[in-house]
Structure 1
Amino acid sequence: MTQPISKPDLSQRPFHLTVERIMDSAPDILFLAWTKQFDRWFAAPGSVLMEGEVNTVFFFETIYKFEAQSEAQRHPHYGRFLKLEPDRLVELTWITGAEGTKGAETVVTVELEPHGNGTRLRLTQAGFPDEESRNQAEHAWPFVLEHLDKVMQTRI
């Protein structure tokens, strides 16, 4: 029996963002990147615990340095898959620490639509605890998506 999916209550956290990008990668490649290959483009290699199935949890970490830090730091990310439509939609929760969502459970929705030989990708992240964390993510996602597209164009 499938467990019911409990979505976070975002009503007290109204800050959200939307980023769109035309990707050279096909929808099936991008869907795979978001559900099975996070360590290929986003997460630190070897850190991903992810099944890529609805109602399953995941963990991964990134390692990077903010301007104010003297050396690179480990940044854990946690979440769970809420909805998956192969090659079309990925919806998941996304929780990071002080430099990200400040521990708030946000919802990331990635919509994939064929566009020529590539994909129109629309990413929405909702439920930020404040404007500062939303603005930081809004600045970062375009760079992350550019990197995703570049990496997924290369063969393993």
Structure 2
Amino acid sequence: MKNPITIPDLSSRPFNLTVERLMNSSPEALFKGWTEQIDHWFAAPGSVLMKAEVNEVFFFETIYKFDLHSEAQRHPHYGRFLRLEQNHLVEMTWVTGAEGTKGAETVVTVKLEPHGYGTKLYLIQAGFPDEESRNQAEHAWPFVLENLDNKMMDRY
């Protein structure tokens, strides 16, 4: 018998965001990008520990420079898969450090809908600890999703 899935209680953290983007990549390529190939577009190569199954935990790092004058820093990301619907939906918890969710367990939901030759992607991230964290993620996700589309477009 599988362990029950524990959904985070986000009631005390009401800061959420939604990003919509038309993607040139197929739903299949984007689903694989989130569940099997996150190191092709987001995570530092060699840092990914991920098994795309509900209730499985994952870890990866990103390497990012916040401004021209700072050194690149490693940023760990942790989470677990809550729901997976092949080529349609990925829902996971998402925890990062001081420059991200400030250690709060947020929930990222990625919905993929076929749209012409590409995909309409909806990303919802819920449970930020404060407005600052939400605003920073709201600014970053469009660039991250653009990179996802550029890297996965030619794969499938």
TM-score by length of 2: 0.97
- Displacement after TM superposition at 1:153 (Å): 1.6
| Aligned-residue RMSD, C-alpha | 1.2
Once residues 133 and 140 of structure 2 are traced to their aligned partners in structure 1, the CA distance between those partners, rounded to angstroms, is: 11
**Cα pair distance change 1:32/1:155, threshold 3 Å:** closer
TM-score by length of 1: 0.97
Aligned pairs for 1:111-126 (under 5 A) are: 111-126=111-126
- Displacement after TM superposition at 1:127 (Å): 0.1
**Which residue is equivalent to 2:64?**
64
**Which residue is equivalent to 1:2?**
2
- Displacement after TM superposition at 1:65 (Å): 1.2
Whether 2:29 is the aligned partner of 1:33: answer no
Unaligned runs of 5+ in 1: none
Once residues 13 and 2 of structure 2 are traced to their aligned partners in structure 1, the CA distance between those partners, rounded to angstroms, is: 29
Unaligned runs of 5+ in 2: none
Aligned pairs for 1:31-110 (under 5 A) are: 31-67=31-67, 70-110=70-110
Give yes or no for contact 2:101–2:133 (8 Å, CA) kept in 1.
yes
Runs of 4+ in structure 1 deviating by more than 3 angstroms, as ranges, are none
Give yes or no for contact 2:29–2:155 (8 Å, CA) kept in 1.
no
- Displacement after TM superposition at 1:66 (Å): 1.2
**Cα pair distance change 1:95/1:9, threshold 3 Å:** same
- Displacement after TM superposition at 1:69 (Å): 6.0
**Which residue is equivalent to 1:23?**
23
- Displacement after TM superposition at 1:95 (Å): 0.2
